[in-house]
Amino acid sequence: FEGGEGSGKSTQAAMLADRLKSFGIDVLLTREPGGSPAAEVIRHVLLSGVAKTLGAEAEAMLFAAAREDHVFNTIEPALARGQWVISDRFADSTRVYQGSLGQVDARMIRRLEKLTIGETRPEVTFILDLPAEQGLARANARRGNDKADRFESEALEFHQKLRDAYRQLAADEPFRCVLIDASAPRVSVGMAIWDVINRRFDPATAPLFVEGASP
Ligand code: T5A
């Protein structure tokens, strides 16, 4: 799942995981930055904003270090066990935040991507799309009195450009990336996502997961 701040990625990733589990499918729900113990430490560094002064390239390298550990220690073992992996953000976040917005050279972004994920690419990426003002309002409401993190505290213009960059990504990779109208109520957004999952993966015919049984 990809998209701007507060677009509903965590909500929809969890809803999809629950729905797949109800079909007896073994699902791993994970997130970036993070998803493994070492990557969670890097997440803390990045979102605190202490790495901002190092510049977008250094931040891209830190996100890459976290991703490498996440892929190696969490995602690949899960896939090897036969689990379906749902990640709340992945490599497209680096393309968009550090690449399109941070203006890190596209060749460097591609090299980092090759190094960190290799062939472990998502079969489908849902890009949750809604106006930046709406996403930020949702993120602010959920955060309450807590401080905005490194990227939430960027200006509105940053978030508007972020939305444009994600829409461009969806246009560039129309099969892998599915643009979803995230301004609709949670249930309607979930139905649009489920419709794509149903058509592409037919979960009703997937092998059943039996607790305790070997894969
Ligand atoms: N980053 C990350 C990079 O710069 N490069 C990278 O390579 C990577 C991996 C991560 C930050 O790091 C940056 C991007 C990010 O800035 P994060 O805390 O994980 O930070 O932040 P986000 O991924 O942006 O997650 P958020 O929690 O802010 O947003 P979500 O997950 O999109 O939204 P969600 O589901 O938490 O929903 C937000 C609120 O809206 C409500 C929810 O209940 C919640 O209160 N909501 C809705 N309300 C109305 N209608 C709907 N349809 C709703 N859906 C959800």
Whether 178 is in the pocket of ligand 1, judged by its Cβ within 6 Å, is no
Which residue owns the Cα nearest ligand 1 atom 21?
A: 5
Question: What's the rounded mean pLDDT across residues 18-47?
Answer: 97
The owner of tokens 């200006």 is 155
pLDDT at 212: 62
Cα→Cα distances 147→90, 142, 150, 151, 184, Å: 24, 11, 10, 11, 27
- Calculate the alpha carbon distances from 9 to 1, 70, 116, 156, 208 in Å: 6, 18, 22, 19, 26
Q: Is residue 170 within 8 Å of residue 178, measured between CB atoms?
A: yes
Task: Work out the mean pLDDT of the chain and round it to a whole number.
Answer: 95
Q: How far is the CA of 49 from the centre of ligand 1 (A)?
A: 17
Examine the pLDDT at 215 and tell me if it is beyond 60: no
Q: Note the pLDDT of residue 40.
A: 98
Per-residue pLDDT, averaged over 199-206, amounts to: 89
Most informative mutation of 5, 12, 153 for ligand 1 (most atoms within 8 A of CB): 5
- Of ligand 1's listed atoms, the one at least distance from the Cα of 46 is 12
Per-residue pLDDT band at 206 (split at 50, 70, 90) = confident
- Å from CA of 85 to ligand 1 middle: 18
